[in-house]
A and B are shown apart, each in its own frame.
Chain A
Amino acid sequence: MTTTEKPAADNGVDVPFLLGARTALADAPAGAQFQWRAETEWVKGTHSRGTVKTFFGLGEEQEHTSSFTFDADHPLQFSSEDHGATPVEILLVALGACLTGGVASVAQLRGIQLRSVRATIAGEHDILGILGGDPEVPNRFKSIKVHYDIDADATPDEIAAVVAQSQKRSAVYDSLTNPVAVEVEVN
């Protein structure tokens, strides 16, 4: 294996930093233990507002540069007021964001300059499950399809390999395709 002969690609990802972090955290694995957090406040009906501000990582409390809010609701078709995307759509947004960030990082690591990346994400869902209308129908998505249109300085196989590697390294993809224990408590 040799390093790439192409001119260095710039997708705006700080690859040297990420590689450095990988080495440093492998030697000090306690620093790699992160906790991601969100707070959800009920507003009215099915409308709620999520806020993201702090997290824990690198051994101490951390903070975003500002707090981010996410309105979630259901559309008029559910007789809701549609103040935001549905939670399942936010899940699709999270999957698309995670995979796309991965595409940019992997591409840059491999010296591939991206010109445009667009993901179209669709989740098939039988809502009889959540409505309790058919006990045999699960609540979750039946399946999710992600379609990428990518324009980059690379062959189709190289682009496919970037997308495949991004799935392999994606936290959201892994959380959706594999079981995660979830515990819900009440005060």
Chain B
Amino acid sequence: MLRVTTVVIGAGHSGLAVSRHLAERGVDHVVLERSEVASSWRSQRWDSLRLLTPNWLSRLPGYAYRGDDPDGYMSAPQVAAFIEDYAKESAAPVRANTTVTAVGRVDDGYVVETDQEAWRAATVVVAAGGASVPTVPELRAGLPAGIEQRAPGGSTPDLPAYRNPGDLPQGGVLVVGPSASGIQIAQEVHASGRPVTLAVGEHVRMPRTYRDRDVLWWMDATGLFDDRYDEIPDLLRARVLPSMQLIGSPERATLDLNTLSAAGIRLVGRLAGVHDGVAQLSGSLRNVCTLADLKVKRLLKGFDEWAATAGVEQTAGLPPGEAVAPTVVPAAAPQELDLGSGEIRTVIWATGLQPDFGFLGELPVFDRKGRVRHDGGVVPGSPGLYVIGLPFLRRRKSTLIDGADADAADLVTHLVGHLA
């Protein structure tokens, strides 16, 4: 058995940021990676995906975007290359092609079993990705046979990953979920000639730019991205919020439900059930749109208030803001959709992703819903164990590349204290 002070599981941006901070603090460690650096960016993403965050916002400890398009958005291969360069420049001690199979507690530390060597470590940082496995509602079981299914960003043995529209049969497509992935995929699938119906539950609406700046520039500059997990009023809700409705396109275009309606996509209520092969659609469509409209209005108003006070220097000379148009809700959205009629040939589950922490199975760290119980990444049920890269782990930006530095610094500080 090999010995090391800290095992980091996963060589994505989070694991590498942790590695960098561990190195700076003189903690000997190893980064175990199931395939190669940034693997999910090589294998799990759909073809057209670009980061939602502008290039300049991709900052890691001791590293940042250096290309000539700071306002652009990286494609998945570009993200993989960006992270790979970071691993090289950091000389991170990555062990590639090493899949962790189990983490067990021994004495005052851990044994990390892998498909290669086993490791004995005092501390373990799980940076295996917060978004690995599709979260699909149970009602999926009621879909009639013969309907193709896909999920963006991940897959399971019976649910293939979405790649591109050409991968789908001709005919109608039901996209479930108005998240960033849902609206992006709805748009490109509809453009391919397959009529799209989008089932719309709660969502977070965002213009791509506001007052000539990327909306995420505002999130960053106003400090919203730095909101802390132990200071916001409803952490539970913040951690399950759907992704911001954004697309990273060279045109810096806004993609929202109005864009999709104008393109001919049919908006319907949240998929609430499937009964006898008929999809039951919630009557709450208008309210979820109203909630999102009011929320984005509040957000932009907050930006303006900040610009008039604390941000006055950074925003001098910016044009005034434009109001976002209210979401146009169809007067009579159907409440039912017969999935057996042949109209819908494919269902795409843009219903979110969750981490796969099965290798922690032996440890007393899960809550009643199977989530790892943690306090800002510190796992109280298992001293010396840490998680990183989960939604609102310590800050609103925790799942962004740009959020890894601050979270990693905090956790490594805690880890060093634990070792002392």
Q: Say yes or no: B283 contacts A177, CB within 8 Å.
A: yes
Query: Nearest-CB distance from B336 to chain A (Å)?
Result: 10
Q: Is the CB of A178 within 8 A of B287?
A: no
Question: Is A186 at the interface (CB under 8 A from chain B)?
Answer: no
CB of B269 within 8 Å of the partner chain: yes
Q: Verify A178–B298 contact, CB threshold 8 A.
A: no
Contact B272 A160, beta carbon cutoff 8 Å: no
Pick out which of these stretches binds chain B: A6-14, A48-56, A68-76, A164-172. Answer: A164-172
Q: Indicate which residue in A1, A26, A164 contacts B232 across the interface (CB closer than 8 Å).
A: A1
B290 proximal to A (CB < 8 A): yes
CB under 8 Å from chain A, chain B span 314-336: 332
Contacts A177-B282, A179-B273 given: A157-B298 contact, CB under 8 Å?
A: yes
A176 to B280, CA, bound (A): 12
Given A1-B232, A177-B282, A179-B275, A164–B294 Cβ distance below 8 Å? Answer: yes
Contact B284 A177 (CB under 8 A): yes
Question: CB-CB < 8 A to B368: which residues of A?
Answer: 29
Q: Which of A128-176 contact B (CB under 8 A)?
A: 143, 157, 160-161, 164-165, 167-168, 173-174, 176
Q: In the complex, A81 Cα to B270 Cα: how many Å?
A: 41
Residues of A20-63 whose CB lies within 8 A of B = 26, 29
Residue numbers in A under 8 Å from B287 (CB-CB): 164, 167-168
Interface of B is mostly: mixed
Whether B233 contacts A164 by the Cβ 8 Å rule is no
A40 to chain B, nearest CB (A): 26
In the assembled complex, the Cα of A91 lies from the Cα of B283 at a distance in Å of: 16
CB distance from A158 to the nearest CB of B (A): 9
Q: How far is the CB of A143 from chain B (nearest CB, A)?
A: 8
Interface positions, chain B 261-305, Cβ under 8 Å from A, are 269-270, 272-273, 275, 280, 282-284, 287, 290-291, 294-295, 297-298
Q: In which size bucket is the chain B interface?
A: 20 to 34
Give A173 to B286 CA distance when docked, in angstroms: 13
Judged by a CB distance under 8 angstroms, whether B227 is at the interface is: yes
Residues 16-40 (chain B) with a chain A CB within 8 angstroms? none
A179 B227 Cβ-Cβ under 8 A: no
Contacts of A165 in B (CB 8 A): 291
Residues of B within 8 A of A174 (CB): 284
B273 near A178: Cβ-Cβ < 8 Å? yes
- Closest A residue, CB atoms, query B287: A167
B-side contacts of A167, CB under 8 Å = 284, 287
Closest residue of A by beta carbon distance from B231: A1
Chain B residues with CB under 8 A of A164: 287, 290-291, 294
In the assembled complex, the Cα of A2 lies from the Cα of B231 at a distance in Å of: 9
A1 to B272 CA separation, bound complex (whole angstroms): 32
In the complex, the answer to whether A168 meets B282 with C-beta atoms within 8 Å is no
Contact B275 A178 (CB under 8 A): no
| Chain B residues within an 8 Å CB radius of A178 | 270, 272-273, 280, 282-284
| Minimum Cβ distance to chain B for residue A115 (Å) | 21
CB neighbours (8 Å) of B273 from chain A are 178-179
Q: For B272, what are the chain A residues with a Cβ–Cβ distance below 8 Å?
A: 177-179
Least CB separation from B291: chain A residue: A164
Which residues 187-202 in B have Cβ within 8 Å of A in the complex?
202
A173 to B283, CA, bound (A): 9
Q: Which residue numbers of B lie inside 8 Å of A, CB to CB?
A: 202, 227, 231-233, 236, 269-270, 272-273, 275, 280, 282-284, 287, 290-291, 294-295, 297-298, 332, 368
Which 6 residue pairs across A and B have the least CB separation, nearest first? A177-B283, A178-B272, A179-B273, A167-B287, A177-B284, A179-B280
Given contact pairs A1-B227, A157-B297, A164-B294, a sample of 14 additional A-B residue pairs in the complex whose CB atoms are under 8 Å apart: A1-B233, A26-B236, A157-B298, A167-B284, A168-B291, A173-B284, A177-B282, A177-B283, A177-B284, A178-B272, A178-B280, A178-B283, A179-B273, A179-B280
* Chain A residues proximal to chain B, CB less than 8 Å: 1, 26, 29, 143, 157, 160-161, 164-165, 167-168, 173-174, 176-179
Q: List 5 A-B contacts (CB under 8 A).
A: A1-B231, A157-B297, A164-B290, A167-B287, A179-B275
